[in-house]
Amino acid sequence: MNESRLPWQAEALWRQLQPLLPGLSIEVVAHADSTNTRLLERARLSGGRHERALIRAPEAPPAPNEPPTPLGRRADDTQPCLLVAEHQTRGRGRLGRTWQSTPGASLTFSLSLPFEPVDWSGLSLSVGVALADALDPLQPGQAPRIGLKWPNDLWLIDAPVVGRKLGGVLIETVAVGRRRMAVVGVGLNLHPQPVRDAASGVASLSELDPAVTAPATLHRVALSLAQVLRQHEREGFRPFVERYARRDLLQGRPVTTTAPALEGIARGVAEDGALLVETPQGLQRLSSGEVSVRLAGMPVDGAS
């Protein structure tokens, strides 16, 4: 703990997560530039490869025949760490966007862990499912209040409009010795806050629970996140396809994409997490990390 101002009950959280994340440490700081950046730099430096470029695509596999780091691998190089910042000053989102947060109005944290999945594909979608299901448990036949916008956003669903952005996920990886570390960054809006360039509008969890707090929200999502990460590591995205489909914000809607530029109707996601778009030229598959998607007629998402 470092200058923490809120009752995080880190020991209770550690006891809950440690069986799934052996060797876990939990750190809470009052301020951080970016929790993802801190954990990535820590992993990179502990592995002795100061110059090594970080890989920011969640589906990026380890490089073939990755050599060991100059300093070798120490026993604690790849221990899991949950880092929480009460105020994140330089948060980052996908494709170089910024993630703005306000003290007391946001939950921002990152979880780093050694990760060796059978398939990296769809990891950000699995994480989205973990968060949404923890925050908005669904009974059979119940309509979701929290939707998932491919590939890494959580939205509060507002009828009759599509919704507003509630949170986001940023997954990055870095080599440490002969292993690869995944850093899973999460940002959630808890209370209304001023945000620049938010074309789609911004939502907050307080609209679902006026008494929401950052510590309570972390305790609510952390176990689900750890469980889903372990299951994805064993089985890939396939077990989460149906759960994702229940919350798929784009399903059946006209969408446009960039890089490649396409227009069509979103037809869900494949078992590897690829977005399926029906176009006049046929069904197209889009892989996470390659495109930015928006609903037709909606400006491209800005910072949030």
CB atoms < 10 A from the CB of 129, how many?
26
Find the angle CA(86)-CA(88)-CA(93) to the nearest 5 degrees.
130
At 16 the pLDDT is: 96
Given a cut of 80, whether residue 76 has pLDDT beyond it is no
Structure confidence by residue, pLDDT tens digits, 200-234: 678 999 999 999 999 999 999 999 999 999 999 99
pLDDT at 101 over 90: no
The most confident of the ranges 4-18, 47-61, 91-105, 286-300 is: 4-18
- List pLDDT tens digits, range 250-271: 999 999 988 788 899 999 999 9
Q: State the average pLDDT over residues 16-40.
A: 94
Length of the chain: 304
299 or 133, higher pLDDT: 133
* 118 and 125 Cβ atoms separated by less than 8 Å: no
- E strand or H helix that includes residue 124: helix 123-135
Q: Locate tokens 């990886």: which residue? A: 173
For residue 289 the two structure tokens come to: 């990390």
Diameter of the chain measured on Cα atoms: 57
Q: What is the pTM of this model?
A: 0.85
Q: Nearest 5°: CA angle at 55, between 51 and 61? A: 120
Closest CA to 18 of 293, 221, 223: 223
Whether pLDDT at 53 is above 50: no
pLDDT band at residue 1 under the 50/70/90 scheme: very low
> Domain-by-domain residue ranges, the chain?
10-249, 250-296
The pLDDT value given to residue 294:
78
**Mean pLDDT value of segment 23-43:** 92
Fold for domain 10-249?
Answer: BirA Bifunctional Protein; domain 2 (3.30.930)
CATH number of 250-296: 2.30.30.100
Report the C-alpha gap between 196 and 3 in whole angstroms. 28
CA distances from 182 to 16, 48, 61, 87, 124 (A): 21, 17, 11, 22, 11
pLDDT-above-70 percentage for the chain: 77
Q: State the pLDDT confidence band at 298, using cuts at 50, 70 and 90.
A: low
Q: Is the pLDDT of residue 285 over 50?
A: yes
pLDDT value of position 199: 56
Confidence check: pLDDT of 43 > 70: yes
Share above pLDDT 90 across residues of the chain, in percent, rounded to a whole number:
62
